[in-house]
Amino acid sequence: MSAPLIAARGLGIRLDGREILTDVDFEIRPGEIVTVVGPNGSGKSTLLKALIGAVKPSAGRVERAEGLRLGYVPQKLAIDASLPMTVGRFLSLPRRVSAEAIAAALDKAGVPDLANRQMKDLSGGQFQRVLLARALMDRPQTLLLDEPTQGLDQPGSAAFYRRIEEVRSEMGCAVLMVSHDLHVVMAASDRVLCINGHVCCEGTPEIVAGAPEYRALFGSGTKGALALYRHEHSHDHDHSHPHHHHHEADA
Ligand SMILES: Nc1ncnc2c1ncn2[C@@H]1O[C@H](COP(=O)(O)OP(=O)(O)OP(=O)(O)O)[C@@H](O)[C@H]1O
C-alpha cells in the first residue's frame, strides 16, 4: 500500500476554548476519493482546514508528504460583485499565469469557454467549476473540496462529481471532499469518513451506510443511494479497499 499523502494522527482541534475535533485518525492515499460527511457543525470544514495547515492542532498532528501539492476549494468565497473581473484574471491571482495554463485548467474543470466571462455573471455551477479550475492550476496531488456542490441542483451536483472522478483519473490526484449530498456521495466515493466531533465510522460507502453510528446521525434512508452506488460501480476500480457487495446494509 502506498504511503499516505496526508494523515491526521490523534488530531484534536480547540477553537475559542471549545473542543471541535477529538482524536481524529485519518489518512488519504494516492488516487482515492474520500468524502467527509457529518451533521452541521460537526467539524468537517475544520478538519479540512487543519489538513491544509490553516488551523493549528491542539493535540496530535497532521502529516503531509514532503513537497505535497494541494488544491483547496473553500466552502465560501465572497467576490465583490461590483468589481469587474474576468474568469481569466481571477485564475491568474495572486500570481500571473499564461493564457495556455488558464485554458488548460478551465478545460480540466469542464468549462473550456469561460476565460473572458465576468465572474459576477457566472451561474452557481459555472462558479464552482471556476473554483475547481483554480484549485487545479498547480497540478495538485491532493484536491480538497469543501462542499463543492452547494447551491447546485441534483443534475448539476452529479455532473460536478462525475467531472471530479474524471479529474482523478486524468491527473491521478487524490480527492477529499465534504458533502451533504449523501446520495451522490455514495455513488462517487471510494471511502466515506463520517464525523461528529470525532470519527464516528469510516469505510466503503456501503459499510458506512450500514453502520449504526451513521444511521443514528442520518437515519436509514440511504437505500436509493446504495442502489445508485451499486449501479455506477459495477465496473472494477483498482483500489486497495475492496468493495463489499453484501446486503447487510439493507437490513
Ligand atoms: N474560527 C472559529 N472560532 C470558533 N469556533 C469555530 C471557528 N470555526 C468553526 N467554529 C465552530 O466549530 C464547529 C465546527 O465547525 P465547522 O465549520 O468545522 O463544521 P461543519 O461540519 O463544516 O459544518 P457545516 O456542515 O454547517 O458546514 C462549529 O460549532 C463552529 O461554530
Ligand 1 atom nearest the C-alpha of 43 is 18
- DSSP assignment of 180-201 equals S-HHHHHHH-SEEEEESSSEEE
**103 pocket-lining for ligand 1 (C-beta < 6 Å):** no
The protein residue with its alpha carbon nearest to ligand 1, atom 10, reads 15
User: The pTM is what?
Assistant: 0.83
Say which residues have a Cβ less than 8 Å from residue 115's Cβ, sequence separation at least 6: 86, 87, 88, 91, 99, 102, 103, 106
pLDDT per residue as tens, the chain (251 positions): 688 999 999 999 999 999 999 999 999 999 999 999 988 899 999 999 999 999 999 999 999 999 999 999 888 787 777 789 999 999 998 788 899 999 999 999 999 999 999 999 998 889 989 999 999 998 999 999 999 888 888 888 888 888 898 999 999 999 999 987 777 677 778 999 999 999 999 998 888 888 888 888 877 655 444 444 443 433 444 444 444 444 433 33
Mutation test of ligand 1: which of 20, 75, 185 has the most ligand atoms closer than 8 Å to its C-beta?
Answer: 20
Q: How many whole angstroms from 135 Cα to the centroid of ligand 1?
A: 22
Question: Other CB atoms closer than 10 Å to residue 5's CB: what's the count?
Answer: 24
58-208-65 Cα angle (round to 5) = 45
Reported ipTM: 0.96
